[in-house]
Amino acid sequence: MSDTTISLSRWLIEQERTHGHIPGSLRLLIEQVARACKRISHAVNKGASAGIMGSAGSENIQGEVQKKLDVIANDVLLEANEWGGHLAAMASEELERIHVIPHRYPRGEYLLMFDPLDGSSNIEVNVTIGTIFSVLHLADGVSEVGPEHFLQPGRQQVAAGYCTYGPQTTLVLTLGHGVTVFTLDSSQGSFVLTQEGLRIPESTREFSINMSNLRHWAPPVQRYIDECLQGKDGPRGKDFNMRWVGSMVADVHRVLARGGVFLYPWDRREPDRAGKLRLLYEANPMALLVEQAGGMAMAGTERILDIQPTSLHQRAAVMLGSSEEVALLQKYHQEAQ
Ligand code: AHM
Ligand code: MG
């Protein structure tokens, strides 16, 4: 590491000491999450050579088949964050119930939520996957932590981020003061600062949606995509490009890096479900990152970060990214009401 390189640890200490953006306990919590992500990154890199590919032979609360790496990533995050003394409880996509910090460890003031391995359908095909996380403050005066304490609107997140396991391992983080990117220098084993003050371009010519579901979408989403597809000859007057990795972390990373709009909307196949993606540990952390980078994140007419959660694993419709596009989608949803 050169003298000018800023490690995640150093950057976090500066956020605490110089800018007063975070208390020491939150700094240590983020370091612990980053440490877990490094371990997950190593496991993902080893893949089949370590015999950790394929199904774990179990299902999670969402009825999805768990992969061995889903289980490993979940265990790594639980273990790494249990003993530090910064957390009161954790919630995971892979766990039906919350994981309360055992009495043998000191209890902290934060709640951690995560999707340990997002995009797990891409594990076998060696395509970017990642970990998504969100941190909330536990309300004062709580003696027994329960799932209800996690049911806070996303705007109350004190930190959020994700780590991608792809050609590079990148950690993208917000503490509510902009978005910062760190890249894992594997020769040193540490995350180093690679971009500060990330901004999403307001305009874009790129959308990201699973087009195979087109016939199931609500009219405002169909209208929006139809107009994009008409390109220069249609009302938008410009040609659009399309990308769909199938890992939210990778698709949102692209949107943060060069602009674009990412959608996983409600659809008719399961009308009682708001969408496919989970609010607390997928939609909310990504929405905070996108807003902190100057973009927008809506669930139709409502801002994702304003949704009052009612259950731990609830779903949300997601439309996020470049503000011009998300504002247009919001307008089409309003007009359809
Ligand atoms: P996962 O958390 O079980 O991996 O599921 C969420 C993933 C997202 O990463 C991705 O955007 C979406 O599911 C892809 O869904 P689909 O296969 O319907 O295109
Ligand atoms: Mg996921």
Distance CA 14, CA 32 (A): 17
pLDDT attached to residue 57: 80
pLDDT attached to residue 202: 97
CA of 131 to the centre of ligand 2 (A): 8
The finding on whether 334 has its CB within 6 A of some atom of ligand 1 is no
Q: Are residues 127 and 249 in the same domain?
A: no
115 close to 92: Cβ distance less than 8 angstroms:
yes
Percent pLDDT > 90 in the chain is: 90
List, for residues 126-182, the tens digit of each pLDDT value.
Answer: 999 999 999 999 999 998 999 999 999 999 999 999 999 999 999 999 999 999 999
Distance CA 74, CA 337 (A): 40
The finding on whether 120 has its CB within 6 A of some atom of ligand 1 is yes
Domain that holds residue 142: 8-195
Place of tokens 């999670």: 60
Judge whether residue 79 has pLDDT over 70: yes
List, for residues 204-260, the tens digit of each pLDDT value.
Answer: 999 999 999 999 999 999 999 999 999 999 999 999 999 999 999 999 999 999 999
Residue 273 is assigned to a structural domain of this protein:
yes
The enclosing H or E element of 304 equals: none
- The closest residue, in CA terms, to atom 5 on ligand 1 is 119
Residue 26 is assigned to a structural domain of this protein:
yes
Distance CA 337, CA 113 (A): 33
Q: Are residues 160 and 251 in the same domain?
A: no
Calculate mean pLDDT across residues 102-112.
95
CA of 331 to the centre of ligand 1 (A): 26
CA of 105 to the centre of ligand 1 (A): 35
Residue after which a domain boundary falls, among 140, 174, 195: 195
320 close to 252: Cβ distance less than 8 angstroms:
yes
pTM: 0.97
pLDDT attached to residue 2: 62
- The closest residue, in CA terms, to atom 16 on ligand 1 is 246
The CATH number of the domain holding residue 175 is 3.30.540.10
Name the average pLDDT for the chain.
95
